[in-house]
Chains A and B, each alone.
Chain A
Amino acid sequence: MVEDQGLTAGFPAVSVRGLRRSFGAIQALRGVDLDVAAGEFVSILGPSGCGKTTLLRIIGGFEFADEGRVLVDGNDLSGVPAHKRPVNTVFQRYALFPHKTVGENIGFALWVARHKKADIKARVSEMLRLVRLEGYEDRAPSKLSGGQAQRVALARALVSHPKVLLLDEPLAALDLKLRQAMHFELRRIQAAVGSTFIYVTHDQEEALTMSDRIVLMNGGQIEQIGSPIQVYSNPATRFVSEFIGEVNLLAGEVAVVGDERDGSVSIGVQSGNTKIVVPHGSTVDVGTPAWTSVRPEQMSIAPLSTLLPAATNRLEGVLESSVFLGAFIRHLVRLRDGQMVVVQSGVQGQFLTMQPSTEVAIDWSDSVGVLLCE
């Protein structure tokens, strides 16, 4: 399930074609295709071991593919060693040279390329200004905080204006507050330098806040490519719907298929004793086993004993617990058939103080929810 958009005319900045890579019996990449447009911020998101780091390392030239090609601006990079590629990498644990000052670290690529001393100095201070570390030239890397070291690593990778910047979980070692601040910093810096950013992460929040597009990987394959809104509200597979955000997956079987209207078909799914109506992009054969995915914030909850409005989709169950989380309340409900469902309600609404084991009804609109057939 690969859906591709956002490509401008000409060559994509990065093109990955049919990449395969095995480590012994483990298949790290099982045929990966990806196009990234120039200036795009693309996140590769997936659980550890999904092949995302291997993909990045192959693009960077630190790992070699068994099959397939990597092209940058239409040029095949097969056989081009890492130090001759027009891409740079920000490494996971910064990898700053401990025997060089901050300034020497940032200017390293320019020194290697035999630039003039004055030229290097000017560029280094320009980079330091970009990452907001003016005056840190002569510091030792061991004297930097994690966030500062991360900025220096970023400056070092950007100093020779790479066409493509690869970032391998660069914020993983930082604490939450710093990480959130760096999300905005990274976007600001990307806008300033205009390079294409390919960002590997296992953190869905990071991917959602920063990316133009998200590439979801699982088991060495791409599950879905799309904008943050697309992958969140229209997951292509069960894996995607579960990996991004919290979701309720209701097992069932397609029972009724409605007529197509505005490119959307109303599908009736028999799930246990209840029938659920969910919109879908195409018709599906009756009898197909399918999962219905509904986000907790798309559902509403009320005691069964109150006067309930009419609703197409309604599940009944018993409240197990409600947890107040500041901006919202999270309710855990056990359905009559034993499945657990999570419902999220705002703190302004009714029924804020329901006791556990209250009989409740969970309603949601027939225009939300995603049907996932597998």
Chain B
Amino acid sequence: MRVKATDTLSSVARHEKTEKRWYVARLTPLAAFLTIFFVAPFVILFMYSFGSSTIFELKFGSNFENWSSALTDSFFRTLLFRSIVNGVMVGVISVLLAFPFAYAITLGPLRKHSEFFLFAVLISLFSAYVVRIYAWRTLLGQSGIINEGLGVVGLGPYDWLLFNREAVVVTLVNVLVPMAVLPIYSSLAQVDPALIEAARDSGAGTWRTLYSVTLPLASRGLNAGFALCFLIAAGDYVTPQFVGGIDGQMLGNVIAEQFGVAFNWPLGSALAFMLVGAMGVVVALWLFLMRLLKFTGPLR
């Protein structure tokens, strides 16, 4: 904000007021959009979780049956646990894969070709999600490329490659890893290479430098990358449907069922909010862990 020397105090104050008004005005469109299309449905859905349903209609109400069955039924609990564990695995593996890659193309040996490599990762986003899941079916299936290849050397075919939890995790990591690469890339791209040199200059070897300088400065990207991958993976129901088999089903599949064939929206929304709550706890734990490791960004 530039202020002329001739401005009186009151005109400065007026100027500040106008600035503030503009600030609010710029926020309004997005705020309105999110209120109408996110907050409102969210609230309505939450209200449904206290309602009931018959074959023909949904009713709001104040019964806690849906919540008590969601929280106490061991079937739901098993699936919730599986969703969370799968989500955490996908999030952690994606970050572990994305970080070395993002480091190599920002501060590492491939930094001169960062645009090419970043594009190579993003290009996988060009193909539809379902197509990529199908691709994994053809890779891991009984007559898939891996089993065919093993057949050449006289092994297999193995049926345990597909239709289980591991297949779900592998597929989700493949689908979601660009979501981890992008934020980690952008946080590492802002790190001044001189900081890495300064750490080495002070006697820190490769691991010390990584732990005490690079990771803390990349923490925002690590947080965003983990959260994106984890949240999408833990809430997913398409991947388990295609490559999960019976053992690979997650809570998302049951929730989708409640809103679909079962037409039990109240139970569905209770389960959905239970999942949201658990996700919130996991993200909070992640942030706590990052703080514990002192992986925090620049001081203000």
- Complex contacts, A26 vs chain B, CB 8 Å: none
Interface contact B194-A99, CB-CB below 8 Å: no
Interface check B216, CB cutoff 8 A: yes
Interface check A141, CB cutoff 8 A: yes
Interface centre among B212, B297, B299 (most CB of A within 10 A): B299
Nearest A-chain residue to B297, judged by Cβ: A99
Interface check A89, CB cutoff 8 A: yes
Interface check A135, CB cutoff 8 A: no
Interface check A112, CB cutoff 8 A: yes
- Complex contacts, B200 vs chain A, CB 8 Å: 61-62, 81-83
Quick one: given A140-B299, A140-B300, A142-B298, are A97 and B201 in contact (CB under 8 Å)? no
- Determine the distance from Cα of A93 to Cα of B300 in the docked complex, in whole angstroms: 19
Kindly identify, within residues 254 to 300 of chain B, every residue whose CB is under 8 Å from any CB belonging to chain A. 296-300
Return A123 CB to nearest CB of chain B, in Å. Answer: 13
Interface contact B194-A91, CB-CB below 8 Å: yes
Interface check A101, CB cutoff 8 A: yes
Interface check B198, CB cutoff 8 A: yes
Interface contact B208-A112, CB-CB below 8 Å: yes
- Complex contacts, A100 vs chain B, CB 8 Å: 299
Chain B, 178-200, contact with A by CB distance < 8 Å: what is the 0/1 string?
00000000000000101101111
Q: How many A-B residue pairs have CB under 8 A?
A: 74
Among the listed B197, B201, B208, B299, which residue makes an inter-chain contact with A99, where contact means beta carbons less than 8 Å apart?
B299
Nearest B-chain residue to A111, judged by Cβ: B212
B contact residues, total (Cβ < 8 Å): 22
Interface check A317, CB cutoff 8 A: no
Kindly identify, within residues 228 to 265 of chain B, every residue whose CB is under 8 Å from any CB belonging to chain A. none
Kindly identify, within residues 87 to 120 of chain A, every residue whose CB is under 8 Å from any CB belonging to chain B. 88-89, 91-93, 95-101, 108-109, 112-113
- Determine the distance from Cα of A100 to Cα of B299 in the docked complex, in whole angstroms: 7
Interface contact A82-B197, CB-CB below 8 Å: yes
Interface contact A93-B197, CB-CB below 8 Å: no
Interface contact B202-A156, CB-CB below 8 Å: yes
- Complex contacts, A84 vs chain B, CB 8 Å: 203
- Determine the distance from Cα of A97 to Cα of B294 in the docked complex, in whole angstroms: 13
Interface contact A93-B194, CB-CB below 8 Å: yes
- Complex contacts, B201 vs chain A, CB 8 Å: 60, 82-83, 88-89, 157
- Determine the distance from Cα of A100 to Cα of B195 in the docked complex, in whole angstroms: 12
Kindly identify, within residues 103 to 155 of chain A, every residue whose CB is under 8 Å from any CB belonging to chain B. 108-109, 112-113, 140-142
- Ranked nearest first, the 10 interchain pairs of A and B with the lowest CB-CB distance are A140-B299, A98-B298, A109-B202, A95-B194, A95-B198, A82-B200, A83-B200, A112-B203, A99-B216, A112-B204
A-B contact pairs, 13 of them (CB 8 A): A61-B200, A81-B200, A83-B204, A83-B205, A89-B198, A92-B194, A95-B194, A97-B198, A98-B195, A98-B297, A112-B204, A142-B300, A160-B203
